[in-house]
Structure 1
């Protein structure tokens, strides 16, 4: 029994230290966003499942994998967090998939513009190079004022930054010359 108690205490301390590190990382990322000129790569909020059902159509939400109630709440919480911190958002672009558009719209940070260079290439891997190149160019060209919010998919963000993200998670990047550097990650609304 003492071994189990020691293990539980050790695990609890590890989790608490991880939370503290994440909170500090979030704080410095929020501070950078207050200054503007950054790009936020956000994976759409929680939409349970993988990919889309057979026969899905981009223009018809009822044929796609969509946000759950928790995903809708997550997107609203993210938008609230941006507004509470007065983070300047100059433009909002989204994939044309309904789960990405809904995330962007539920955040209520500005007019949402759908763009093909944020569309998922999960099934259409042949589109990966063209979509990723265009996204890289758009990110590198951003100069503000304010920040640019891009709501897209896990595969797109992985192709851009080399690492995955959870539902609703954001990678904040700074355009530098013809590329960009990662500033930090943000998780809001349960992720």
Structure 2
């Protein structure tokens, strides 16, 4: 077999492997994922759930008007409710829920946990805002978070990436703790799409 044919065969196997991996059913979240939450003192970083297509917000969006923002899709609303139910089914106590002021984050928090408090340090800085300043304010507060309460932050990809170095999918849940040894500021203990 020539090198070209061997490369094509390997690429074909790679596509088949990727297809098969995507076709597998989602495994239930293991108890190992929930164990740190049951002990408490965990910071739950959650990216808002699925939105209507697009990136960022439309030109001229306003925080005081959901109609001007990119909002949750019907799937995202269902996804948020499913995440909240997963926490309840796992009997995980959620003590405080903080959210970005963006409607997609507020709606995710309300649909999942039935409450929220807007916390400006986790507002998006994708199109506006101060990445360094907001991240520093968030880390200053999060460094002092100890157990047993669990703290949920519903925010955006850019904020979670700045805090952890991880690029989360919409609706993905990361369990983290502040870590001075981590340049990003937080160490991720586990992550799951629920």
Q: Any gaps of 5 or more consecutive residues in structure 1?
A: none
State TM-score, norm by structure 1: 0.83
Tell me which of 54, 77, 80 is aligned to 2:82.
77
- Structure 2 counterpart of 1:34: 38
Query: Measured at CA, do residues 160 and 12 of structure 1 come closer, stay the same or move farther in structure 2, by a change above 3 Å?
Result: closer
Contact 1:89-1:110 at 8 Å conserved across structures: no
- Structure 2 counterpart of 1:55: 60
How big is the shift at 1:176?
4.6
How do 1:16-31 and structure 2 match up within 5 A? Answer: 23=27, 26-31=30-35
- Structure 2 counterpart of 1:88: 93
Contact 1:26-1:186 at 8 Å conserved across structures: no
Query: Measured at CA, do residues 132 and 26 of structure 1 come closer, stay the same or move farther in structure 2, by a change above 3 Å?
Result: farther
Q: Give the Cα separation in 2 of the matches to 1:155 and 1:187.
A: 18
Alignment pair present for 1:143 and 2:143: no
State TM-score, norm by structure 2: 0.82
- Deviations 1:73-99, CA, capped at 9 Å, x for gaps: 000000000000011111000000000
Q: Give the Cα separation in 1 of the matches to 2:114 and 2:73.
A: 22
Tell me which of 41, 46, 51 is aligned to 2:50.
46
Contact 2:139-2:178 at 8 Å conserved across structures: no
Q: Give the Cα separation in 2 of the matches to 1:25 and 1:82.
A: 11
Further displaced range: 46-55 or 137-146: 137-146
SS at match of 1:150: strand
- Deviations 1:8-67, CA, capped at 9 Å, x for gaps: 9x6289628x979x8588542211111111001110000131000011000100000000
SS at match of 1:164: coil
Higher helix share: 1
Further displaced range: 143-152 or 22-31: 22-31
Equivalenced residue count is: 180
Q: Give the Cα separation in 1 of the matches to 2:63 and 2:71.
A: 12
